[in-house]
């Protein structure tokens, strides 16, 4: 298991997020060093996903600052180029395409060399227990299976910063352990993860409850 070549640190100070001009979250401080994860807990509507969207760069900061840095270089206000992997609450799989075709599209989006695609994709499919469904159109897959496919996307991406919105949603307990192992492995390589969850992920991490 090789470490990521970039070791990224994330620091958020006094974060505030508004939706429709309405304050949703205030005063969130987060520190994530390479190899660390933070789990955001909170009831529905407490602003967990909004926080993830702040880190993803979709929402504007109403207050506070987010700082990113590679190794011990200068702090930047935007995430390092091509460092983010985002798992949203809906797996972005097109129902007309097979699992493999869906993964192929995402693989290209991460600039994984074409020659390695088959190996990388099958390796990831095997890891998430979806080997038997490589040629199945994702429209026929269950919600949990699509979620597993999305986790395969995370493995393929090779990105250092994982933003996870309910990564084990719809996945059975066995699958949830698999997801936890994959996240732990990512952390072991010096990656960082921020996850919005109802339930504990089963990964050694910091826990932040908002509400």
Partner 1 sequence: MFSHFSNPAKFEALANRVGPASFVVFAVLATIGVIMGLFVAPEDYQQGDSVRIMFVHVPAAWMALASFSFIATMSFIGFIWRHNLADLAARSAAAPGAAFTALALFTGAVWGKPTWGAWWVWDARLTSVLVLFFLYLGYMAIWQSVQDQTKAARFARIFAMVGAINIPIVKFSVDWWNSLHQPASVFRADGPTIHSSMLIPLFAMALAYTALFTWMVLAGVRADLIETRLEKRQLRKPSRPVGEAEQIEGVNT
Partner 2 sequence: MTGTALTFTRATLVRDLAISVRSGGGWFYAILFFVVFAALAGIAIGPELPALASAAPAINWLAAAFAIQLTVTDVFEDDFRDGSLAIIAAEQTSLFPYFFAKVIFVGLIVATPMILASPVILTMFGISPVHIMGAATLLAIGIPSLVLTAVFAAALTAGLRAGGLLAVVIAAPFLAPPLIFGVLSIETYIANGIFWSPETFVLAALSLFMAVMAPPFSVIALRLGLE
Q: What residues make contact with partner 2 under the rule CB under 8 A?
A: 53, 56-60, 81-82, 84-86, 88-94, 96-97, 101, 104-105, 108-111, 157, 159, 163
- The partner in contact with residue 57, picked from partner 2, partner 1, none with C-beta cut-offs of 5 to 8 angstroms by kind, is partner 2
Contact string 39-78 vs partner 1 (x = CB under 8 A): x--x---xx-------------------------------
> Concatenated DSSP letters for 32-84?
E-TT-EEEEE--TTSSHHHHHHHHHTSSPPSEEEEEEEETTS--BSSPPTT-E
72 CA to centre of own chain: 23
- The partner in contact with residue 184, picked from partner 1, partner 2, none with C-beta cut-offs of 5 to 8 angstroms by kind, is partner 1
- The partner in contact with residue 180, picked from partner 1, partner 2, none with C-beta cut-offs of 5 to 8 angstroms by kind, is partner 1
Provide the token pair at 155. Answer: 């493995």
Judge whether 178 and 101 are in contact, CB under 8 Å. no
Rounded to a whole number of angstroms, the minimum distance from the CB of residue 1 to partner 1 is 14
- In the complex with partner 1, the residue whose CB is nearer, 22 or 81, is 22
H or E segment to which residue 68 belongs: strand 63-70
Check residue 25 for interaction with partner 1 (CB under 8 A).
yes
Q: Which residue has the tokens 């990964």?
A: 203
């Amino acid at each position: 298991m090789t470490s990521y070549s970039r070791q990224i640190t994330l620091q958020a100070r006094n974060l505030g997020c508004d939706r429709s001009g309405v304050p949703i979250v205030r005063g969130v401080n987060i520190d994530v060093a390479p190899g660390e994860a933070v789990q955001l807990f909170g009831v529905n509507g407490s602003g967990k996903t909004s926080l993830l969207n702040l880190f993803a760069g979709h929402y504007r900061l109403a207050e506070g600052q987010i700082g990113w840095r590679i190794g011990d270089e200068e702090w930047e206000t935007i995430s390092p180029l091509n460092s983010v992997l985002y798992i949203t609450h809906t797996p972005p799989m097109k129902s007309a395409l097979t699992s493999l075709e869906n993964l192929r599209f995402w693989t290209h989006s991460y600039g994984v060399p074409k020659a390695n695609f088959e190996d990388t994709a099958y390796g990831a499919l095997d890891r998430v227990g979806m080997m038997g469904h490589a040629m199945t159109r994702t429209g026929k897959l269950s919600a949990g299976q699509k979620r597993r496919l999305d986790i395969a996307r995370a493995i393929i991406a090779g990105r250092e910063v994982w933003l996870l919105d309910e990564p084990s949603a719809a996945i059975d307990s066995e699958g949830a352990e698999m997801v936890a192992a994959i996240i732990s492995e990512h952390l072991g390589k010096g990656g960082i993860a921020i996850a919005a969850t109802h339930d504990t992920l089963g990964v050694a991490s910091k826990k932040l409850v908002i509400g």
